Chain A
Amino acid sequence: MFVKFLNAAVFAGTPLLFGTTGEMMNEKAGHLNLGVEGMMAMGACAGFMAGYFYDSILIALLAAFLAGMLGALIYALLTITFMANQNVTGLTLSIFGVGISNFAGEFMLVNSASNTLKLPEQITAQISNINIPGLTTVPVLGPLFFQYNIFVYLAVLIAVTCGIYYNNTKTGLNVRAIGENPGAADAAGIKVTKLKYINVLAGGGICGLGGAYCSMIINGGVWMNNPVNGQGWIAVALVIFASWKPYRAIFGSFIFGAFNILKYYFPKTIITLPNALYDMLPFVITALVLVMTSIRKSKENQQPASCGVNYYREER
């Protein structure tokens, strides 16, 4: 039972991990992007449709990544080059992204023969849980580590890569410098604009992958409107929960995944709570974490200092 609960938590936490990693990449470069929900929605739609038509997980992932990146490109153009307000641009991206994703989804539904969209067989097999003979069957460890779908492993891989990137590479150091003080980074010869674009776009692409998980896995391969359903917003909050550390994002996401599915596993014999309270839990906890971090106030483990402020070199 407990192993099953952990399994479910990992599954529920995976889209959050994509979103959190993606948003973290934005914030590391000094851009608070509230468009995660929108970028995930765009990835959800593009990934599903590509999977539906091409029946290939690779093409689906690529499409999801590109769609998330397209959303991020709008954001990047407006905030990096045109120096528009980050909060408003991000929010608009969320509204726009969810809108266009649902619009396209309904468009496809109406134009489909059976009025339903279901992923074809080959891709369904590709995204089902893996089974490694000899490993998956090991008691406890097998189900705990070796029976997820490809998305789960991809999400962890990306998060770990991200951790190495920011902690152990020169480019990562440079990006962190931009997020803290773009003026200093610029004066040190770092190509601020280029690196900002790279990080924001890559982050958007990763968010898009998380969206694809929502649309392709959660609803059992059938298209439904609003597949992301607020997870992007939790991801934004999770970045804070993880205090801008990629490795912590992995655990944070899975912990939040656990909150999400707690209502199905919590032993009803102890206490019976209404489902709504369980659904509320992740948001309440995030709010509490927000308050706690703001009370603690340390110099480090804070949001990159330039987040929300755009950079113009010739500012006087």
Chain B
Amino acid sequence: MSTATTSSPANRAVVPATTSSRATRVLGWLTLAGFAVLVALAFAWVPEDTRITEQGDVVGQFDAVRLMFVHVPSAILAYTGFGLTFLASLAYLRWRTDWWDIMAHSSAEIGVVFGVLTLVTGSIWGRPTWQTWWEWGDVRLVTALVLVLVFIGYLAVRRIPADAAVKARRSAVIALVGAVNIVIVNRSVDWWENRTLHQESTLLARKIRDETLFTLSFSFAVGMALFAWLLLHRFRTAYLESQIEELEVQEALAERRAEADWADHERGQP
């Protein structure tokens, strides 16, 4: 970060007044258009989930299956966000640059947003299909919940008023320990009660209709575009925040100097 450009008013324009650029505007509109297409595909094109049993009964998830196009991409984006936080924290501890620190912070925030969205949509989906909002003992559910809780704690640390370097270093260690912890939680819940309701990946098992598969893949693409858009804006906001802090320090210093000069002038000294 350069400090030379922040002291005089003429240079203040160096810090941009917006977090958007031509690239993010294009990306934003593309994401919005993609989302509109996704809604149309998910509600109009994909058929409801039904199967006919040998007895002639119609079974399946019916319209509830459409939640897949929000739930699955949310989960992937949440894990992408947390994974990025982990990598950025490692990189911060190695290189100690603000860039990695801001990257870790921004991706953690987005990860928590999508993590909560995953839990909420999963819960809503679970009610009609599993007849329960929540299932203790389900590895994926409990791991996701603890993961979100760990990163909510991480964000709490990031909000504390403290020296920037101290906060950055401790946050990085917390992110690393949190990632290690997720593995332990996952294993322990698996041993605790392995009565999982959550299905295995349908993508890998290839038990999925072509329309559904295409829409799901499309939802990943829209999700990734949304993630990139959010990350760019969040990163720039955080960068501007750090610039403002720097500016305020510089201005406070300049004011103190001006006061000292005025006092000298009053006493008749140059």
Instruction: State whether these chains interact.
Output: no
> Which residues of B approach A to under 8 Å, CB–CB?
none
**A residues touching B (Cβ–Cβ < 8 Å)?**
none
